[in-house]
Structure 1
Amino acid sequence: MNEKALKWTEIESKNKTSQSKRSVERRGKMITFACIAIMVIIAVSMLVFVASKGLSTFFVNKANVIEFFTGTNWDPGKTDKTGAPALGALPMIIGSFAVTFMAAIICAPLAIGGAVFMTEISARIGQKMLQPVIELLVGIPSVVYGFVGLSVIVPFIREHVSGSGFGIAAGTVVLTIMILPTMMSLSVDAIRAVPASLREASLALGATRWQTIYKVVLKTARQGILTAIIFGMARAFGEALAVQMVIGNSTVIPTSLFEPSSTLTSILTMGMGNTVMGQVENNALWTLALILLLMSLIFIIIVRILGRRRTY
């Protein structure tokens, strides 16, 4: 009887243990699901709110969609001949794309080259000297970059190149410096994720170190590098304060890189605090915010598609 009692006791303890584990697992799943649901609700709510406010310009204030994207006159307080508000966002759209793509074109080779140096050529120097510098630069606030650009880059362009110093060129330089640490740090992580066995196999087949880096390491880490580039472009496209301080904030299409221009974010930061909710001016700014959000989503989708393509 004692042996049977002991067996029943063991069985009951095992059942209790398994039940407690299942209850803990259920609680963990519920907490995880709740966190994910909260994140999804917040994201959807933001999208719906920005979309509803941005589309009010066309459905409530009767602005012309074609004129909004192709017009060059941005004066929400006035109306055109048809009575619609004078909302031409083409100068800001051009300015945003110009500074973003130019900064990415300049920054991408520098970031990839620096990442290759830190991981494949001189990992010791990169780990001890460059990595702390990159982490420090990532944490610098954007207003500091803008102030440096206003104090150094703008006077340099004005004195040694041409114009007033404000313009797309100054904004491109500031954004290049800003996104370089982010792009390089993510590129370093992508390259370090490449298995060492691939490098060893390439070298064993007679490839040089540069051939291994170019044809094995970089191609294997391509998706991560593309992700690094898109993160840098997303930060450049959405940057407001630093660009606002050096670009000039003129709502005209520039004919030169050294003429004052504007971006979607610079107009947003300048006008959002001076408008009344529900008015034409405020709805127009929300439309610019909607464009900014959609462009960021498009960039992410394009990079995801490119990252899924494999190179043989």
Structure 2
Amino acid sequence: MNSQQGTIVEKNVIKQAGGISSSVNQTELKRKLLTANKSQQMASFFGRMYTMVAAGLLIVVVLSITYFIASKGLSTFFVDKVSFTEFLSGTKWDPEDDPASYGALSFILGSFFVTALAAIIAAPLGIGAAIFMTEIYPKFGKKVLKPVIELLVGIPSVVYGYIGLTVLVPFIRDRFEVLGFSLLAGGIVLAIMILPTITSVATDAIEAVPQDIRNASLALGATRWQTIWNVVLHSSRPGLLTAIVLGMARAFGEALAVQMVIGNTLKLPGSLLDPISTLTSGITLNMGNTIQGTPYNNALWSMALLLLLMSFAFIAIIRILGRKKLVHK
């Protein structure tokens, strides 16, 4: 009995000592965790400073670009005394005439026409490709179509323009017996360029629709296509609209590819087969032939200001659609 009692007492002593040691270790660990580490404090400080400087620099760059373009563009109206109404609604563009004419309506309408045509062509194709990749054959879509679409994004715009110049323009010329350089050619080239953007964003929007909604629709007796048309597309509508607006934003600011196939004339187009001119093509073709600070140069900067304002408008639309998407969820 004495030996057994000694063994029990010894175990109790060891257990108590282990408990005390564990308590001491926990207290020491808490003290180390709660004690400020100078290296961690320095890393956190420099991390916050780096992010603040990066964000501040981004804001400064955006404001500087906006101020620079606005100061140049507004000089047309406040320094050169060109009528704002004439600039937006006039159809005669001849800054070197006496008196000079600064009607930019043909450039403005040309940009809107070619952007709208590109969106009309690319939106159904992009959304259809997104449905195929996510709802019809998702494995094939992710393995084959998605890499192909990513490759299309990386192709330079000059390549699209050159293909349009050597293939599309001669085809339109021979098919319809016209010049070939036309609104139709520019719309098709831009549609191909913005197709990857619309497809990628639309794919993400459709994939974000919960699977339970699809299952509920199928359980109620709806067919696969009825589920896609009435449930999936309806639920992802804000994201699909965002995809279209993003594509239009890129199309509106494209210069080189469009410039190579639209003909660059100052007349308003009477049909899809007529040549046109856009804000971007007008700026790129004429900016190098003007002198800094002249009314002609300032008028081109006013066209650039219109492009910037349209970019802001597209961004605002995307933000509004994004908020509607969050509310919809």
Return the TM-score normalized by structure 1: 0.90
2:301 counterpart of 1:282: no
Q: Name the aligned partner's letter for residue 131 of structure 1.
A: K
Q: Is the 8 A contact 1:222 1:307 kept in 2?
A: no
**Alignment correspondent of 1:165:** 180
For 1:266 and 1:158, locate their aligned partners in 2 and report how far apart those are by CA, in whole Å: 21
* Partner residue in 1 for 2:15: none
Aligned to 1:194: 209
Q: 1:9 to 1:177 in 2, by over 3 A?
A: closer
Aligned partners of 1:77 and 1:280 also within 8 Å: no
RMSD (Å), alpha carbons = 2.4
May I ask how many residue pairs the two structures share in their alignment? 307
Give, in whole Å, the separation in 2 of the partners of 1:10 and 1:234. 56
Rounded Cα–Cα distance in structure 2 between residues aligned with 1:311 and 1:9: 51
After TM superposition, the structure 1 = structure 2 runs for residues 36-75 of structure 1, keeping only pairs within 5 Å, are 36-75=55-94
CA–CA separation in structure 2 for the residues paired with 1:103 and 1:306:
21
1:46 aligned partner, one-letter code: I
Mapping for residues 292-303 of structure 1, pairs under 5 Å: 292-303=307-318
- Asked if structure 2 preserves the Cα contact closer than 8 Å seen for 1:247 and 1:260, the reply is yes
Aligned residue type for 1:116: I
- Aligned residue number for residue 114 of structure 1: 129
Query: What's the offset of the Cα at 1:3?
Result: 11
User: Residues 99 and 26 from structure 1, CA distance in 2 versus in 1: closer, same or farther, beyond 3 angstroms?
Assistant: same
Corresponding residue SS for 1:257: coil
Task: Report the AA paired with residue 231 of structure 1.
Answer: L
Secondary structure of 2:96's match?
Answer: strand
Structure 1 residues 18 and 255, CA gap change in structure 2 (3 angstroms): same
Corresponding residue of 2:9: none
Alignment of 1:80-99 (within 5 A): 80=99, 85-99=100-114
- Which is worse superposed, 22-31 or 5-14? 5-14
Does the 8 Å CA contact 1:134/1:181 hold for their aligned counterparts?
A: yes
Question: Post-superposition shift, 1:171?
Answer: 0.6
* Counterpart-to-counterpart distance in 2, 1:246 and 1:211: 41
CA distance in 2, matches of 1:110, 1:227: 15
- AA at the equivalent of 1:44: L
**Larger Cα-atom Rg:** 2
SS of equivalent residue, structure 1 residue 207: coil
1:142-291 equivalent positions in 2, closer than 5 A: 142-291=157-306
Q: Which amino acid aligns with 1:71?
A: G
Name whichever of 212-221 and 128-137 sits farther off.
Answer: 212-221
Per-residue deviation at 1:123? 1.0
- 1:35 maps to 2:54: yes
Separation in 2, partners of 1:311, 1:215: 16
